[in-house]
Amino acid sequence: MSDNQLLEIIDKYLNGEMTKEERARFEILRNENAEINSKVAEHKHFTGLIKQYGERLELEKRLNAIHSEIDVHALEEELMIHPSWIVQLWRNHHSKISVAASIAIFAALCTLFFTGYLNNRETNYVKLSREVANIKKTINSRGPNLNPHPKIDNPGNFRGTGFAISSNGYIITDNHVIKDADSVYVQSIDGKSYKAKVVYSEPQTDIAVLLITDPSFKSLGAIPYSFKKTESDMGENVFTIGYPSDKMVLGPGFLTANAGYQNDTTAYQVSILLNPGNSGGPLLDNKGDLIGVIDAKQTRMEGAGFAVKSTCLLKTIQDIPADSLKKPLTINYKNALASLNRVQQIKKLQNYVFMVKVYNQ
Amino acid sequence: MSKESNSGIPTDSEVILGILNNSESVLKRLYVAYFPMVLQLVINNNGDGDDAKDIYQEAIIILYNKVKTGDFELSSKLKTYIYSVCRRLWLKRLSQIHRYGGDIKDFEEYLSVDDETEKNNERDIQFNKMGDALKLLGEPCKTIIEDFYINNRSMQEICESFGYTNADNAKTQKYKCLQRLKKLFFQQK
C-alpha cells in the first residue's frame, strides 16, 4: 500500500465515509500497526489545522460583514470622552509642554539670579538695635566705688539709642529696640544708668516713648534742639549721634530721599554709615533741628539708612493717650543750636542722647 | 424568554448555544451588542476605530474557539468576559506599539484573563503559518486542499471542477499537494 493510498483511506476514515465493516477492519489494522496509527494521528492533527484555518477565515469574513453594517464613526463620536481642549492639548503634547515649561522656568530663574532679584529683599532691611547678649563685658574700668549705679555692670540683651524730648525724662526710641522688654534702662553719656518704662509704643511707625522713672533722675534741663514741623529736603546735610558701640559715635551724612524703604512716605532715606545700636538715635540737620529718628538700614546698599520723619514723630506724640502720661509732656520748639558749629552742637546734644538697654529673658 | 428578543442584546446562554449552532443572527447580535463598549475602551485609550475592530474581533474569535472546543465556562457575565479579554489585548497592543502611558481608563469592571489570550496567541501563530503556507502552495493545489479539507467537497466534485480525466489523477494530485503543504507549513519558523 503506497502512502498515497494510505492517506486516502485515512481521509475516508476521518471523514466517516467508510462502511461499518471497512471501519472495523481499519481500526484493527490501526491498533496492530503503530506506524499507521501515528500517521492517522498526524494527519488528523494537520487536517485539523487546515480546518481551523478555514473556520477562522470564514468567521472573520462573517465578522467583517457584520462590522461593515455598524456606523463606527457615529459611535465614536458618541463614545469618545471629549476632555476640554486644554486637557487634550496636554495629553497630546505633554512631553513637549513639559520641556518648554522647564526651559522657561530655568530661564526665568537664571534671569532672576543674575539680576540679583532672588536675594531676599526683606533681609536687606535690618533693624538697628544691637544684640549684645553674647558680648559679655565687664565694665570695671571705672571702679565699683566710684560708681553709684551698679546696674551699669549689666549691658542688657539689646541695645539702641534714645533721645530726650522733654526735660522731665521723656525719651524717644524705636519700638523694635524695646519690643518684648522685661525692663528698660537708659544710660547717659556720663555713664549713669536710669530705670525707665515704656509709656507708649507704636509698631507701625516703629516709635516708642519711654519715661525715666528712676528716683535718682533729676531734670535734664531745657532741650537744646527743636522738632521740625515740616519735611526736610533732599541733599540736606544731616547727622546722628548714637551708641552703635559702647561709646557715643557721630554719624554724618546726607538726606538722600524723601521716602523710606519701599516708598514709605513716613520715612527719609539717609546716607549715613549706620550700625546696629544706632536705632532710635536722633537725626538732626545742620541747624540742629530734629528731623527724624534713625530706624533701619538696607544691607545690600552701602550707606542707605532710614529714619522716621519728625512730622510723623510729632503726630505719634500727639496720639499718646493722656492717661499714659504720668508727667506733662511739653515739646520744645525753641532751637538753641542754630548758631553753633557741629562740635559745639554735639557737645550740647550729647547729654540728651542715651544708650537704651533692654533686658529680657 | 430567549426567544423574546430577536434583536437587541442576546442572553449569555443564547450566545453559547448560538455559537455551537453556528447561528448567524446570534453572532450578529452579539457583535452589535458589545462592540460599542470595546470601541469606547479603545478610542479613549489612545486607539482608533480600526484598532477597536481588530481587538474586538480577536476577542470574539477567542470566545468562539473556546465555546467550540467546549472548555468555555461562564464564570462571570459574558459582557465582563469580553471586556476583560479586550482590555488585556489592548494593553498588550499598546505596549507593543509603545503608546502605553501607564494607566488605562476603564469603563467596566474586569477580570484577569491572561492565559486565555496566551492560548489564543498560539492559535494565531498557527493560523498565520497556515495562511502563509497556503499562499506559497499556489494553484491549483491551494484550491484542491481548501475544497477538500475546508469546504468538505468530495473528490468527485473536485475532479469535475478541475477537469481531471479520472478521480485517481485528482487523488494523486491532492496527495502531492498535501505533502507540499506540510513541508511548507513545518518549514516556517
Residue extents of the structural domains in chain B: 12-112, 124-187
Residue A239 near residue A342 (C-beta atoms within 8 A): yes
The model's confidence at residue B1, banded by pLDDT at 50, 70 and 90, is very low
Interface test with B, best of A1, A6, A52 (most B CBs within 10 A): A52
A127-361 maps to CATH 3.40.50.1820: no
Q: In the structure grid, which three cell numbers stand for residue B84, read together?
A: 476583560
Residue A266 near residue A312 (C-beta atoms within 8 A): yes
What letter does residue A121 receive in the DSSP assignment?
A: S
Residue A165 near residue A317 (C-beta atoms within 8 A): yes
User: In terms of Cα–Cα distance, which of A331, A351, A327, A307 is closest to A187?
Assistant: A351
Q: Which of residues 133-162 of A touch B (CB under 8 A)?
A: none
C-alpha pair distances (Å), A238 with each of A160, A252, A329, B22: 20, 6, 26, 108
Tally of residues, chain A: 361
B124-187 maps to CATH 2.70.50: no
Residue B178 with chain A: CB contacts under 8 Å: 7
Angstrom distance (rounded) from CA A190 to CA A232: 32
Residue B61 with chain A: CB contacts under 8 Å: 56, 59-60, 63
Angstrom distance (rounded) from CA B59 to CA A120: 63
Judged by DSSP in three states, B188 sits in coil
- Nearest Cα of chain A lies from the Cα of B146 at a distance, in angstroms, of 8
Burial readout B112-149 (b: 16 or more C-beta within 10 A, e: otherwise): ebeebbeebeeeeeebebbeebbebbeebbbbbbbbbb
Going by their DSSP bridges, the two strands A304-309 and A130-131 should be labelled as unpaired
What letter does residue A326 receive in the DSSP assignment?
A: S
Angstrom distance (rounded) from CA A271 to CA A327: 36
Residue A66 has its nearest CB partner, among B31, B52, B148, at: B31
Per-residue confidence (pLDDT) for residue A301, from 0 to 100? 66
> Hey, what CATH class is B12-112 in?
mainly alpha
A62 touches chain B (CB under 8 A): yes
Give B10-21 pLDDT, tens digit per residue.
888 888 888 888
Give A293-305 pLDDT, tens digit per residue.
998 766 666 667 8
Per-residue confidence (pLDDT) for residue A302, from 0 to 100? 67
A90 touches chain B (CB under 8 A): no
Angstrom distance (rounded) from CA A326 to CA A213: 10
Q: Which amino acid is at B83?
A: Y
ipTM over 0.90: no
C-alpha pair distances (Å), A47 with each of A58, B150, B182: 16, 9, 10
Judged by DSSP in three states, A60 sits in helix
Q: In the structure grid, which three cell numbers stand for residue B137, read together?
A: 502552495
Q: What is the mean pLDDT of residues B86-108?
A: 78
Angstrom distance (rounded) from CA A221 to CA A336: 12
Going by their DSSP bridges, the two strands A183-187 and A193-202 should be labelled as antiparallel
A51 touches chain B (CB under 8 A): yes
A66:B146 CB<8 A: no
Q: What is the mean pLDDT of residues B114-124?
A: 75
**Residue tagged 477580570 (cell numbers):** B111
Q: Hey, how many other C-beta atoms are within 10 angstroms of the C-beta on A351?
A: 15
B175:A73 CB<8 A: no
User: In terms of Cα–Cα distance, which of A353, A345, A251, A238 is closest to A291?
Assistant: A238
Kindly give, in sequence order, each residue whose CB lies less than 8 Å from that of residue B112, ignoring residues fewer than 6 positions away. B84
B136 touches chain A (CB under 8 A): no
Burial class (CB in 10 A: 0-12, 13-18, 19+), B104: middle
Burial readout A234-265 (b: 16 or more C-beta within 10 A, e: otherwise): eebebbbbbbbeeebbebebbbbeeebbeebe
Per-residue confidence (pLDDT) for residue A21, from 0 to 100? 82
Q: In the structure grid, which three cell numbers stand for residue B158, read together?
A: 473536485
**Rg of the Cα trace of chain A?**
49
- Nearest Cα of chain A lies from the Cα of B168 at a distance, in angstroms, of 10
Kindly give, in sequence order, each residue whose CB lies less than 8 Å from that of residue A222, ignoring residues fewer than 6 positions away. A167, A332, A334, A336
A93 touches chain B (CB under 8 A): no
Residue A59 with chain B: CB contacts under 8 Å: 60-61, 64
CA A301 and chain centroid, separation:
20
User: In terms of Cα–Cα distance, which of A214, A131, A127 is closest to A174?
Assistant: A127
Give B145-184 pLDDT, tens digit per residue.
888 888 888 777 877 887 777 777 777 888 888 888 888 8
Listed as ranges, residues in chain A with pLDDT below 70 are: 1-2, 82-84, 118-156, 297-303, 361
Q: Where are the domains of chain A?
A: 3-68, 81-114, 127-361
Interface test with A, best of B19, B156, B178 (most A CBs within 10 A): B178
Per-residue confidence (pLDDT) for residue A151, from 0 to 100? 39
User: In terms of Cα–Cα distance, which of A183, A118, A159, A73 is closest to A357?
Assistant: A159
B171:A76 CB<8 A: no
